[in-house]
Structure 1
Amino acid sequence: MKSGGIMLRGKFGSKLYKGVLTAFLALLVVVFVFPIVMTTIHSFKTPSEIKSELKPIIKSSDEEEQNNQQSIGEENKYVQLKLIPSKATLNAYYDILLAQPQFLMLFWNSMRLTAPIVAGQVILSVLAAYAFSQLRFRLREPLFFAYIVVMLMPFQVTLVPNYIMANSLGLLNSEWSIILPGMFNAFGVFLMRQFMQVVPYSYIEAARMDGAGHLRILLTIVLPMCRSGIAALAVLAFIDNWNMVEQPLIFLKDAIKQPLSVYLAYISEDDIGLAFAASVIYMLPAILLMLHAEKELVEGVQLSGVKG
């Protein structure tokens, strides 16, 4: 009987744990999805409706009105959020996509900055990770430890050295002042090394006995076994660089060269509808990429921890 009671308590505890975990994860989903949903809904509202909902509304009772002078600063303020627009409109999207051509230009600036950085990060991370995981040379572990130290440092620490170097090379106010430093990412090397460490060294030795060089080994043996890791790295690198703000503000002086992430901060309150519409369009590439590579991203992140 005692063992049976322990088993029942164990099953109950397991179900309770799963229930609490499910509720907690559901709460996290709501917390992360709610801003996206509300941003999308507000993009279809008129500016006046958005202001009336987001601007704190003051309501006073009859008693407060009689004692108005004594109740200054004690007003009841709150924000109203409506899931359904009173009058849905596409005016904000029309203004953004057709009436303001500079928006598309800034969108293109974001793509022109992000795409080369992602491609460079993937290529350089794969090459460096192959060297750290498959090649045998002196100081390999100390050099990799240096990579880890760099990865733990906030990127703001490297802004001043990058600025000095870009200035000495005459790259200031050029997209290359952002692209070239962005291609080198210690986290990408760390992530890809975790994947490549699982490749059996016997495969590498067999390929070498057949006369294969490092490039052939990398392309025919290592990369096919690390496709999920490459996809995960590409998605994470895109999201990270798509949202860059500090680098353009420091390295790019001309507003016409700024990416869309900087433009969103300068939209005035009078154009609040444009701000929500621009935010929705700005989120689309990252969301679509996440959905397209969801399986590879989850598998890559999971396996990177297991293989480490």
Structure 2
Amino acid sequence: MEKTYNNKSIMTYILIIIGIIYIFPILLTFTNSLMSIGEIEENYSTEDGIFSDDDYKYIDMNIIPETVTFNQYRHIFLNTPTYINMFWNSVKLTFPILIGQLIVSSVVAYMFTVLRFKFKEILYFLYILVMLLPLQVTMVPNYIVADMLNIKDSYLAIIIPLIFNPFGVVLLRQYMKVFPYSYVEAAQMDGAGHLYIFTKLVLPMIKSGIVSLGILTFIDCWNIVDQAIVFIRESHRQPLSVFLSSINQGEIGVAFASSSFYAIPILLVFFYGQKYLEDGIQTAGLKG
């Protein structure tokens, strides 16, 4: 008993240390965004660091600001209109993908779970295979198809492939497999069609799965970088995730504020749907 308790204590400490390592950059970014320009320049100046020599330079990292100020946020909202424009570019990319993927994934997952047709398992295996391919592999055929459709320099070149991302189908099918098929059979015996079964029986039962997919899709699409660089050539039409790299090359205080504000939507979505995400992951693993 004592050995088990010690093992649990060790694992707890290890998880706490890992958690601190992950949280520290986020905490540092947010607190530094509340510092004045002078304080940031003093902390991150390599000329007068607390340790320095000819080969290495060290900087001072302070988490708690001496004076809390919102001047960095005021600068990006009032003096950097490009930032707001890029923010709305991210919104225009993310929400069509989010809505489209939820609709397409739920319908296709229902088809793979309830309907009976030839070669269904082979087709589903191909979905899994495509899902496992790296982004760099699938981006090449996506670019070729976008060029054929004459949409390679538009948001559609990014939105359409991500709407049909097979990950959502695979995830929601796991939820639907937990759903008792006897309910579907009983509804069919009462004369219910697939539209009624899908909207009135299946969707309410997989609510946690839909929310989980929505959270994961939002986080993934909000952080789009590679697709935007490849398909969108005009810099003023690129999302904020790409624009942040150019902000980081300027004033470091503005970079902290920009990164903090950029992360707020992701944190809000995650904290709001954390319970659904945890329940969804547990439910999806009940039946393979």
Q: TM-score, normalised by structure 1?
A: 0.88
Q: What SS class does the counterpart of residue 286 from structure 1 fall into?
A: helix
Q: Larger radius of gyration, structure 1 or 2? A: 1
1:171 equivalent to 2:176? Answer no
Aligned counterpart, 1:43: 33
Of 185, 197, 220, the match for 2:200: 220
Aligned counterpart, 1:12: 2
Report the more deviating stretch, 79-88 or 97-106. Answer: 79-88
CA distance in 2, matches of 1:233, 1:300: 9
Residues 157-168 of structure 1 mapped to structure 2, 5 A cutoff: 157-168=137-148
Q: Which amino acid aligns with 1:283?
A: A
Aligned counterpart, 1:137: 117
Q: Which amino acid aligns with 1:115?
A: F
* Mapped contact 2:228–2:238 kept (Cα < 8 A): yes
CA distance in 2, matches of 1:72, 1:115: 50
CA distance in 1, matches of 2:89, 2:186: 46
Could you list the per-position Cα deviations for residues 36-58 of structure 1 after superposition, in whole angstroms to 9, with x for gaps in the alignment?
11000111123443244335456
CA distance in 1, matches of 2:54, 2:267: 46
1:186 positional shift: 1.4
Structure 2: state its 5+ residue gaps: none
CA distance in 2, matches of 1:126, 1:43: 40
1:201 equivalent to 2:181? Answer yes
1:94 positional shift: 0.6
Residues 108-187 of structure 1 mapped to structure 2, 5 A cutoff: 108-187=88-167
CA distance in 1, matches of 2:107, 2:91: 24
Q: Which amino acid aligns with 1:28?
A: I
Matched residue count? 288
CA distance in 2, matches of 1:54, 1:116: 40
Q: Which amino acid aligns with 2:19?
A: V
Could you list the per-position Cα deviations for residues 196-220 of structure 1 after superposition, in whole angstroms to 9, with x for gaps in the alignment?
0011111111111111111110111
Aligned counterpart, 1:31: 21
CA distance in 2, matches of 1:90, 1:292: 26
CA distance in 2, matches of 1:59, 1:45: 18
Flag the 1:58–1:101 CA change in 2: closer, same or farther, 3 A: closer
1:72 positional shift: 4.7
1:91 equivalent to 2:71? Answer yes
CA distance in 2, matches of 1:60, 1:259: 38
Could you list the per-position Cα deviations for residues 27-81 of structure 1 after superposition, in whole angstroms to 9, with x for gaps in the alignment?
12211111111000111123443244335456799xx9xxxxxx853x6x43321
* CA RMSD of superposed structures (Å): 1.9
CA distance in 2, matches of 1:262, 1:193: 33
CA distance in 2, matches of 1:120, 1:269: 35
CA distance in 2, matches of 1:245, 1:269: 17
Structure 1: state its 5+ residue gaps: 1-10, 65-70
* Mapped contact 2:49–2:60 kept (Cα < 8 A): no
Flag the 1:130–1:78 CA change in 2: closer, same or farther, 3 A: same
CA distance in 2, matches of 1:72, 1:43: 30
Residues 45-64 of structure 1 mapped to structure 2, 5 A cutoff: 45-56=35-46
CA distance in 2, matches of 1:166, 1:97: 35
